[in-house]
Structure 1
């Protein structure tokens, strides 16, 4: 028979497993990999799908800040809890709360979460695992609304510092770089993606000499696509000269 301490330890270990198991195999999935809330609309609706063909699932939704704190006064996810029938879809509306305040000259970063809650097992002593999906959510103020064809990522510049490049983001948008390579070279599988905050910069831990005078950066756009930016360097400074669809 388990003592109270051992029961507590078992529950604790189980909770750690729930938090760390990847959500790639989740039964409940989202229709996108990132969420953008435009300031002029105040809300955005997502579609969620229960891919399990036999069992209904509950879907619990909420928004966190970049430190993992659940937000209650800035955004609300509606409904916060819903039942999704087998092989069916549902919707979640994320909207800004009245009185919430956000910077108007740059995007703000948050995280949208969906936790799936499986039906209670009829088998005794069965360990059930609730997977959680967490995606980046950006609040984009009305002043930064993009018109068709606008590509703010082309404003990125590179500055060589020793044998490293610094990526400079002068825009008000978060920009995520997922690959960097020399022109006409294969993608670099060892590259660690980097997200550059608005009006800031990041050093890339790759040899500038190996990247050459025409580095190629791959970024993620609003729709999850991966276009490429081709730079041309003169001295220690590099500017975008071409963009290719990804």
Structure 2
């Protein structure tokens, strides 16, 4: 699951276009990405700047202006799940959320298959999520209904298919407070939060299980010219495998590798920066189950 915060100052709810990891509104001010429990990451850029008296004064003025702004930057809505599975035999599934604030929020919902450049109304997917726009009162729960409206024969029957659930939280416009001056109220800034969650369409009769798929990955580590090391993993199952962490260890030295989601019946190659693989190299990795739980696994890198 990923969450992205977007400045809504001087923007209406109908003016959003989407991008990023599905449906994230553009003009992003901050990003928090989460793929399950405990793997949320906050990304921030860092730069080394020489501070001069003139630059210091300029920064002080900017800081003072920002301090006057009322920034609503916390996500109010909690989605009850980080990923969802749609068994082919089901007529529908539900997606629950809770508005943990005291104020109502508007929630916009849609499904896509990876094309982040298209507006929600132009997407063609075999799913219907209702209602597409709903007001959730403060402290209340809401259930979205998700139905498969496509033709099963048009999707692969021997493997899973992946889609994405998008939930856009649009906070209400701030009202002037008796304790806040008009100038400060006018300078207020709103942030919308975009939730993106994986949706797996699972046909009937698939061999094995998602857990077996994650446990039976085949890993191979090779070092070319004594320098460049590649880690190859083969997923010989009908299920997607979401990896949260990968570490290649040779002796006492361990090197972390950027994780990814493995497609069914596929092979993926990862570059290992600064690592070398010998005959005793091992791989330890973490995979995410259907409920967002993280499990640890170890394997020999042949």
Name the TM-score, length of structure 1 as normaliser: 0.76
Separation in structure 1 between the aligned mates of residue 264 and residue 253 of structure 2, nearest angstrom:
29
**Aligned-pair CA distance for 1:92:** 1.0
Which residue in the other structure is 1:132 paired with? 194
Offset, 1:129: 2.4
Which residue number corresponds to residue 157 of structure 1? 218
* Number of equivalenced pairs: 221
1:67 matched to 2:128? The reply is no
The residue that corresponds to 2:21 in the other structure is: none
Q: Which has the larger radius of gyration?
A: 2
Which secondary structure does the structure 2 equivalent of 1:142 belong to?
coil
Shift, 1:212, TM fit: 4.2
Alignment match, 1:103 = 156
Unaligned 5+ segments in structure 1 are 1-9, 238-246
Counterpart position of 1:22: 31
Instruction: Please say if 1:79 is aligned against 2:144.
Output: no
Partners of 1:103 and 1:139 in 2: CA distance: 10
Structure 2 match to 1:222: 290
For residues 279 and 103 of structure 2, what CA distance do their matches in structure 1 show?
50
User: Does 2:145 match 1:93?
Assistant: yes
Which residue does 2:57 correspond to in 1?
Answer: none
Q: Whole-Å Cα distance in 2 between the matches of residues 87 and 196 of structure 1?
A: 38
> Any conservation in 2 of the 1:77–1:95 contact (CA below 8 Å)?
yes
- Which of 246, 257, 262 does residue 180 from structure 1 map onto? 246
**Alpha-carbon offset, residue 150 of structure 1:** 5.4
**Aligned equivalents of 1:133, 1:186: Cα separation in 2:** 37
Q: Which range moved further: 129-138 or 154-163?
A: 154-163
C-alpha change, 1:170 and 1:129, in structure 2 (3 Å) is: same
Counterpart of 1:116 (choices 169, 185, 195) is 169
CA shift in 2, pair 1:74/1:98, >3 Å = closer
The question of whether the paired residues in 2 share the 8 Å contact of 1:45 and 1:91 is answered with yes
Give 1:161 shift.
3.0
The secondary structure found in structure 1 opposite 2:264 is coil
Partner secondary structure for residue 26 of structure 2: helix
**Do 2:221 and 2:281's aligned partners in 1 also have CA atoms closer than 8 Å?**
no
SS of the residue aligned with 2:191?
Answer: coil
Higher relative contact order (CA 8 A, sep 6+): 2
Residue 95 of structure 1, CA deviation: 1.3
How far off its partner does 1:72 sit?
4.4
Cα pair 1:65 1:110 within 8 Å, conserved: yes
Aligned counterparts of 1:62 and 1:146: Cα–Cα separation in 2: 31
TM-score by length of 2: 0.63
Runs of 4+ residues over 6 Å off in structure 1: 183-188
Deviation at 1:210, TM superposition (A): 7.6
Could you tell me how far apart the structure 2 residues matched to 1:211 and 1:128 are?
A: 55
